[in-house]
Amino acid sequence: MRQLKAKWLEMTTSQATKTAVLVIGGAEDKVHGREILRTFIDRAGAKDAHIAIIPSASREPSIIGARYVNIFEDMGVKKVEILDIRERDHCHDRYYKESLEECSGVFLTGGDQLRLCGVLADTPVMDIIRGRVKTGELTLAGTSAGAAVMGHHMIAGGGSGESPNRSLVDMATGLGFIPELIVDQHFHNRNRMVRLMSAIASHPDRLGIGIDEDTCAMFEKDGWLEVMGKGAVTIIDSSELTHTNEPRVGATEPLSLHNLRVHILGHGDRYHLYGRTAIPSVGRISS
């Protein structure tokens, strides 16, 4: 803990062109301060950013893509393009592959995460994005459905309820940019705490991340995440779980989860993905 805190205290302001993965809970501010979108642009190269928008999750990809083009151009980005990938065959198109090799930032819009995975998973386009994210050549952002796909295990749907149970959550395979995670978005706005707990009960080796609307968990390459935006990021850590009845109960019966750790992180707070340690923002660190 002391070493992690010392590392955080030594950190300086993030460099504009240092790549990151921005996992956005949906409904990010597109009009006023635009803090999250501004950070994405800065990390993708600031004035030299080249942004590729992938609206494949949307039912109306042309409309949602054009909306983000207008937003990013209004924010000063000189090169923005829509990669309107609607079918898996499109992922072999030379134009899309070359664009993804050249761009500095990729933005995955909201919509349906199953549709997004169905189009992109196990394709040349996906190989390029994942490879460039891994080597730190590309800043990636995903909002709403674009956030849900970040882990290997993905929440594909479900409901809310008074106690965790298996029937509350439908799981599928995500795109695995940060495979250790299970992400739920629109989190407190749609009362999804028990849904994420239900998902973690089935996959206790993963870390649950619940992200509120207009809120972002920004993941650095060294394993740190930082919270920005007006809401909270909820961490559900089952690494010290001592008991669960999940394998033995029916789909609608309440789940037992003993020794589950929960962190609620606000703006500026940080959390280390591998150290499983939360650190408050600079202004809140006591002497």
Residues serving a catalytic function are: 144, 162, 186
If we measure between CA atoms, which residue out of 283, 270, 284, 264 comes closest to residue 20? 270
Asked if residues 150 and 183 have their Cβ atoms less than 8 Å apart, the reply is yes
Q: Are 187 and 210 in contact (CB under 8 A)?
A: yes
Helix, coil or strand: residue 115: helix
**CB 147 within 8 Å of CB 23:** yes
In angstroms, the CA 154 to CA 171 distance is: 6
Helix axes 113-120, 124-134, angle to 10 degrees: 100
Q: Which two tokens stand for residue 34?
A: 């635009």
